[in-house]
């Protein structure tokens, strides 16, 4: 029994013209929201419109956005990974342990990224190898990975990362463009090409729309999902390097609650939580929107917890409003 | 099918008993009746919450907002109690239930009428509800000296040797057992989880059934909101932070299938008890409490692996729902 087989698919007689489709697409809608937020922010605070403060604003979201790129692919394929924040904690802890043995900077980075990848492989094996539902598996690995960090660290913290390690989270590539931000743009481009211009990307969409049909069409569903889990783990490892370098310390409570923010970012970016549709452009714009909201409200001295109300409301609104809008149009047409 | 289900709960119960006995060998006195009653009392809230979550999960949804609902309701009742100590506590408990019910109804309406996936809605309300706590309390804590003695007493009064908190859990569990096995709503909840499309043909309104489960989970979260503040004598933004996942963990360990339709009241209770026993046993056998998180994580993974092997049909994603509500 498959649920997807029962889904009604309405095929329109005539497709909208590409220009019209692009005009009313999700990324366009998001872009309008983003530009509006930008204008409101620059009117609300005189400190907003300076290159340096805008550059500071990017630090708020780049690490999460880097994970969100891989998470988008995973959600499009109909799976989810809630353990990403815990992977950051574990990878950061692994780097901290390596630090105690005097590993140099390239070694630390390698260990951080590899730990992320191993966690991804572990998730991928449980989900695709044993055929378990990803949401439960990753809730389990979420406490498991962070739990290991707690076992290693307890209430302690690793500090004293070597000079040179701070470049990843605090360095600038050119003028106000931070290393993190440049890396994010590079990854955004890579993931855009991967999802929208390769066979692999097509297969990801196919799996998300109908895994059974995908299998009958010769798509190696399990293998691709496995790769996506590995990618998400890898990106979490990279985010761990960036975050550890930015904070210059490791605590087991590092990046707590990020998994939900990353998922929010992806869903806000127009990726269907049911799988099968979404764009990288949308996710990138959603990342900027979340960065703008938190940074703009921060300039206005709004506490972080109140910002989370905005983020939560934004998430529900951007999903509910188009549904209400479509329903009203249908009613009007009747 | 039924015998397999009984089988699973039997094994879970056996594991819990073995854990208690093993701990008792290392630390004699652990299995003394009053200690066990203490563990039961500590787990009471998790049991109540796991039952609410179970109803939601059975219909292939998920409620991530339970802990935030609990914290918000707890803060509201605590503030009311601090401002008007004269209001009788049973009235306040009823108000907590209604408050939780309203918050659950907000989730349920969005899921029922707008057809938004439950995980998205409750992910949003998870942050919204917790943010509202900060707004209404202005970042302040409500602690012992602001709460009335009666407010704190209502979870502690002993009756037949057990504190009131334990009795609340027992009453909820019995009510839940009747609801799930002896009422048409209970059967509808299982039917929707097993096969939404067939449920529609059988005359069950899938959306409304899901709405009902969110009312249940909201109501129980609200009730636990009062219990939490009364028991731990603190109301703050940080109350029960991250607890939503512990609740889901209890359900998963209890053999409730995240793909819907499979799970029993006994399973949810045992899942909660399993986590409760681990939490109590670790400090007693001199394991650092920092091990707790990794152990419960490992238990979840193990439980999922074992459950999947027990289920004959393939697992299904919770995120994918049949369009059967129209």
Least Cα separation, residue B144 to chain A (angstroms): 24
What is the distance between the alpha carbons of residues A42 and B2, in angstroms, rounded to a whole number? Answer: 64
Residues of A in contact with B293 (CB under 8 A): 143-144, 146-147, 150
Question: What stretch of H or E contains A190?
Answer: helix A179-196
- Looking at residue A195, what is its pLDDT? 95
Q: Is the ipTM of this complex over 0.90?
A: no
Contact criterion met (CB < 8 Å) for A312 and B128? yes
What is the distance between the alpha carbons of residues A308 and A293, in angstroms, rounded to a whole number? Answer: 10
Contact criterion met (CB < 8 Å) for B301 and A3? no
- Out of A80, A130, A145, closest to residue B308 by CB: A130
- Looking at residue B5, what is its pLDDT? 53
CB A231 within 8 A of CB A120: yes
Contact criterion met (CB < 8 Å) for B120 and A141? no
- Looking at residue B318, what is its pLDDT? 47
pLDDT over 90 for what percent of chain A?
A: 44
- Looking at residue B260, what is its pLDDT? 84
Q: Determine, yes or no, domain membership for A266.
A: yes
pLDDT averaged over every residue in chain A: 87
Q: Determine, yes or no, domain membership for A16.
A: no
CATH of the domain at A88: 1.10.3470
Q: Who's near B266: CB < 8 A, 6+ residues apart?
A: B9
Fold (topology level) of B2-310? ABC transporter involved in vitamin B12 uptake, BtuC (1.10.3470)
CB B291 within 8 A of CB B312: no
Sites in chain B below the pLDDT cut of 50 = 312-326
Higher pLDDT, B60 or A326: B60
Nearest alpha carbon to residue B156 among B273, B283, B44, B35? B44
Domain residue spans of chain B: 2-310
- Out of A133, A140, A315, closest to residue B259 by CB: A133
- CA distances, A20 to each of A28, A192, A268, A314, B100 (Å): 11, 22, 22, 25, 44
Q: Determine, yes or no, domain membership for A23.
A: no
Q: Determine, yes or no, domain membership for A72.
A: yes
Residues of B in contact with A263 (CB under 8 A): 123
Tens-place pLDDT, residues A139-184: 889 989 999 999 999 888 888 888 888 888 888 888 888 899 999 9
How many domains in chain A? 1
Q: Determine, yes or no, domain membership for A181.
A: yes
Contact criterion met (CB < 8 Å) for A308 and B127? yes
Tens-place pLDDT, residues A259-279: 888 988 998 888 988 888 899
Q: Determine, yes or no, domain membership for A312.
A: yes
Please determine, for residue A14, whether its predicted confidence score (pLDDT) is greater than 80. no
- Looking at residue B269, what is its pLDDT? 95
Contact criterion met (CB < 8 Å) for B291 and A79? no
Tens-place pLDDT, residues A26-61: 788 788 888 888 888 888 877 777 888 888 888 889
Q: Is A71 helix (H, G, I), strand (E, B) or coil?
A: helix
Contact criterion met (CB < 8 Å) for A143 and B197? no
pLDDT band at A8 (very low <50, low <70, confident <90, very high): low
pLDDT over 70 for what percent of chain A?
A: 95
Q: Which domain holds residue A206?
A: 31-37+44-333
Q: Determine, yes or no, domain membership for A91.
A: yes
Tens-place pLDDT, residues A235-259: 999 999 999 999 988 998 888 878 8
Rg of chain B taking only CA atoms, in angstroms: 20
Q: Determine, yes or no, domain membership for A298.
A: yes
pLDDT band at A126 (very low <50, low <70, confident <90, very high): very high
């Amino acid at each position: 029994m498959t649920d997807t087989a029962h889904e009604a698919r309405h095929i329109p007689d005539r497709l909208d013209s590409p220009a019209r489709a692009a005009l009313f697409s999700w990324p366009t809608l998001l872009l309008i929201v983003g530009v509006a937020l930008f204008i409101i922010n620059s009117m609300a605070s005189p400190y907003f419109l300076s290159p340096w403060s805008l550059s500071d604003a990017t630090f708020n979201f780049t690490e999460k956005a880097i994970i969100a790129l891989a998470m988008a692919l995973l959600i499009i394929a109909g799976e989810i990974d809630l353990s990403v924040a815990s992977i950051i904690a574990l990878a950061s802890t692994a780097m901290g342990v390596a630090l105690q043995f005097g590993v140099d900077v390239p070694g630390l980075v390698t260990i951080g990224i590899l730990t992320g990848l191993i966690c991804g492989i572990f998730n991928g094996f449980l989900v695709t190898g044993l055929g378990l539902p990803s949401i439960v598996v990753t809730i389990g690995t979420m406490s498991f990975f962070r739990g290991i960090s707690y076992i290693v660290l307890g209430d302690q913290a690793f500090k004293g990362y070597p000079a040179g390690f701070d470049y990843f989270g605090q360095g600038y590539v050119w003028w106000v463009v931070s290393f993190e931000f440049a890396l994010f743009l590079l990854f955004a481009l890579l993931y855009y090409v991967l999802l929208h211009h390769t066979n692999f990307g097509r297969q990801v969409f196919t799996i998300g729309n109908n895994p059974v049909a995908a299998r009958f069409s010769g798509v190696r569903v399990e293998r691709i999902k496995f790769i996506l889990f590995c990618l998400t783990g890898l990106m979490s490892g990279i985010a761990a390097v960036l975050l550890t370098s930015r904070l210059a310390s490791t605590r087991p409570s590092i990046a707590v609650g990020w998994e939900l923010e990353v998922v929010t970012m992806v869903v806000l970016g127009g990726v269907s939580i049911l799988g099968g549709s979404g764009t990288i452009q949308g996710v990138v714009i959603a990342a900027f929107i979340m960065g703008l909201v938190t940074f703009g409200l921060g300039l206005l001295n709004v506490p972080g917890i109140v910002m989370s109300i905005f983020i939560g409301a934004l998430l529900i609104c951007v999903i509910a409003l188009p549904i209400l809008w479509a329903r009203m149009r249908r009613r009007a047409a009747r | 099918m039924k015998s397999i289900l009984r089988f699973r709960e039997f094994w879970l119960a056996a594991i819990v008993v073995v854990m208690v006995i093993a701990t008792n060998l290392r630390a004699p006195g652990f299995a003394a009746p009053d200690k066990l009653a203490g563990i039961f009392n500590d787990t009471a809230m998790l049991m109540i919450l796991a039952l609410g979550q179970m109803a939601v999960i059975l219909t292939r949804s998920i409620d991530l907002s339970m802990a935030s609902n609990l914290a918000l309701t707890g803060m509201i009742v605590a503030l009311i109690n601090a401002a008007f100590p004269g209001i009788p506590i049973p009235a306040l408990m009823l108000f907590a239930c209604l408050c939780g019910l309203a918050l659950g109804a907000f989730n349920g309406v969005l899921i029922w009428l707008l057809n938004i996936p439950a995980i998205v809605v409750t992910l949003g309300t998870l942050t919204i509800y917790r943010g509202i706590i900060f707004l209404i309390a202005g970042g302040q804590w409500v602690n012992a000296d602001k709460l009335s003695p009666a407010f704190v007493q209502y979870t502690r009064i002993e009756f037949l040797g057990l504190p009131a908190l334990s009795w609340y859990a027992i009453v909820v569990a019995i009510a839940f057992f009747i609801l799930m096995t002896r009422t048409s709503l209970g059967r509808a909840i299982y039917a929707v989880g097993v096969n939404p499309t067939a449920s529609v043909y059988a005359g069950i309104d899938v959306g409304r059934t899901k709405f009902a489960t969110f009312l249940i989970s909201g109501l129980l979260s609200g009730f636990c909101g009062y219990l939490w503040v009364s028991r731990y004598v603190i109301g703050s933004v940080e109350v029960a932070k991250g607890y939503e996942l512990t609740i889901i963990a209890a359900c998963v360990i209890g053999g409730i299938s995240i793909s819907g339709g499979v799970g029993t009241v006994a399973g949810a209770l045992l899942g909660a008890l399993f986590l409760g026993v681990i939490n109590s046993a670790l400090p007693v056998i001199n394991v650092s409490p920092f091990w707790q998180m990794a152990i419960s994580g490992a238990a979840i993974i193990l439980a999922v692996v074992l459950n999947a092997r027990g289920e004959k049909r393939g697992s299904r994603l919770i995120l994918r729902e049949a369009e059967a509500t129209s």
